[in-house]
Amino acid sequence: MKIHEYQGKLIFAKYGVPIPKGYPAHTVLEAEAVAKRLIEETKSNVVVVKAQIHAGGRGKGGGVKVAKGGAAEAKELAQKILGMQLITHQTGPAGQKVRHLYIEQGLEMVKELYLGAVIDRDRRRIAFMASTEGGMEIEKVAEHTPEKILTVHIDPIVGFSAFQARELAFGLGLQQYSKETVGKFVKLMGALYEVMIKEDCSLVEINPLVVLKNGDVVALDAKVNMDDNAEFRHKAQWAEVFDKDEEDPVELEAKDVGLNYVSLDGNVGCLVNGAGLAMATMDIIKHAGEKYGVAPANFLDVGGGANQEQVTKAFSMILKSDKVKAIFVNIFGGIMKCDVIAMGVVAAAKNLGLKVPVVVRLEGTNVELGKKILRESGLAIIPADTMADGAAKIVAAVTGGSK
Ligand SMILES: Nc1ncnc2c1ncn2[C@@H]1O[C@H](COP(=O)(O)OP(=O)(O)OP(=O)(O)O)[C@@H](O)[C@H]1O
Ligand SMILES: [Mg+2]
């Protein structure tokens, strides 16, 4: 689960990670009011108006603006940013609508750094990464100048040790700013480790972490992702910070009925049972269709024990997507019975109408009954015997047989 910058900063504050003063705002009037309040509290006319969306690269997309002319200018900026479709390298071409703002005190920094913590699954440890190249896209630094990223791994039994933070601090050259800067960084990193562990985060990223003139280190940005597997430990708090407006509506619908669904960019809707078979299905569609612009439009695992209602829901979700040009139903009936799948497919197709070709490959428990239900439904279904056969037929269906 992702949360907004302002929500992440509230968590930072709770654990003692220094942040600038700031307040969220959900309307232009509120933005003006909190800008006034900030200006009074900080005795500075500089405030930053920041779009709150669950995607990075807001600054470059025009979603982070500095106002030096007081609350009136902050209001103007809020007017521009609130409600805009913010397009960044992470939002996709349609962008993401800005529904919330964060109004923050503007700070003058002498250096922008990067500090992040992730779970390194290979090492089974939390990895802290730091770089002097903060502020810009860290992915590019990692790609072009990997030597500029310093990494330490935290032993889960020993926990965080100050010497590891000092290793990063000296690696970043923090001793050049002030005598206290190294110590402040060590404290901040310890607090960040606490955030990571106690809040069950999968990622915590500060880009930029800045050094101020007086040698203080402050988190100017906060990207905090929660590990969904730990939801049961934080049910109430996470429900409060969950922003459904930022989620794919179809994925939300799927979650509600207990389906594993991920939207993708292609044009073949896939109804599959079992995560492994779903992955293999996506692979074989890509393999057969890549040259012809045929690719999966979604990952959907209806699970082992789905009932007819879930299958109907799943198939309806695929039918409703206008990017879907053909549907591949690929089922291996083990615990899942083929007749249940067939009834779900028929029910959804009768309900919503079938406008695209459907290729079905069924195997396993009650396969004959399943095939009979499909045959007698009167739906124009293209049967397939094997996965490869199905993939070839799907490609033909999308390309109109012109492959
Ligand atoms: N409170 C602030 N005071 C001064 N400058 C700021 C402040 N907040 C942000 N900035 C400037 O704006 C830049 C972008 O801000 P921020 O990192 O929050 O957004 P972003 O990098 O565009 O978004 P993301 O990290 O989601 O990609 C920062 O690198 C910093 O230079
Ligand atoms: Mg940033």
| Selection from 32, 37, 11 nearest residue 22 by Cα | 37
* Cβ atoms of 142 and 245 closer than 8 Å: no
Q: Is the CB of 59 under 6 A from ligand 1?
A: yes
Give the CA radius of gyration of the chain: 26
Can you tell me which atom of ligand 1 is nearest the CA of 220? 8
pLDDT of residue 351: 84
Can you tell me which atom of ligand 1 is nearest the CA of 20? 1
102, 205, 246, 261: the active-site residue: 205
Q: Which residues surround ligand 2, an ion (CB under 5 A)?
A: 207, 221
Domains with residue ranges and CATH for the chain: 1-20+108-247 (3.30.470.20), 21-106 (3.30.1490.20), 248-399 (3.40.50.261)
Can you tell me which atom of ligand 1 is nearest the CA of 104? 1
Q: Is the CB of 137 under 6 A from ligand 1?
A: no
> Ligand 1: which residue has its CA nearest to atom 15?
59
> Ligand 1: which residue has its CA nearest to atom 3?
106
Q: Is the CB of 273 under 6 A from ligand 1?
A: no
205 is catalytic: yes
Q: What separation in Å is there between the alpha carbon of 18 and the centre of ligand 1?
A: 15
Distances (CA, A) of 366 to 136, 139, 245, 299, 338: 56, 49, 41, 25, 5
Q: Is the CB of 134 under 6 A from ligand 1?
A: no
Q: Is the CB of 221 under 6 A from ligand 1?
A: yes
Instruction: Give the whole-angstrom CA distance, residue 7 versus residue 197.
Output: 17
Compute the Cα dihedral for 295, 277, 256, 343 and give only its sign: positive
Instruction: Give the whole-angstrom CA distance, residue 338 versus residue 213.
Output: 68
pLDDT of residue 304: 73
pLDDT of residue 310: 84
| Selection from 265, 273, 310 nearest residue 290 by Cα | 265
Q: What separation in Å is there between the alpha carbon of 206 and the centre of ligand 1?
A: 10
| Selection from 333, 334, 324 nearest residue 359 by Cα | 324
Q: Give the mean pLDDT per block of 10 residues along the chain (403 residues).
A: 97 98 97 97 96 94 95 96 94 92 97 97 96 87 91 96 97 95 98 98 97 97 96 96 89 84 92 92 96 94 81 86 91 87 88 89 92 90 92 94 61
Give, for ligand 1, the residue of 91, 221, 246 to mutate: max count of ligand atoms closer than 8 Å to Cβ.
221
pLDDT of residue 309: 82
Instruction: Give the whole-angstrom CA distance, residue 165 versus residue 396.
Output: 57
pLDDT of residue 248: 82
| Selection from 297, 351, 355 nearest residue 324 by Cα | 297
For residue 2, give the amino acid letter: K
114 is catalytic: yes
Q: What separation in Å is there between the alpha carbon of 314 and the centre of ligand 2?
A: 37
> Ligand 1: which residue has its CA nearest to atom 1?
106
6, 23, 102, 114: the active-site residue: 114
Q: Is the CB of 62 under 6 A from ligand 1?
A: no
Query: How is residue 333 written in tokens?
Result: 């009936």
Q: What separation in Å is there between the alpha carbon of 118 and the centre of ligand 1?
A: 21
pLDDT of residue 58: 94
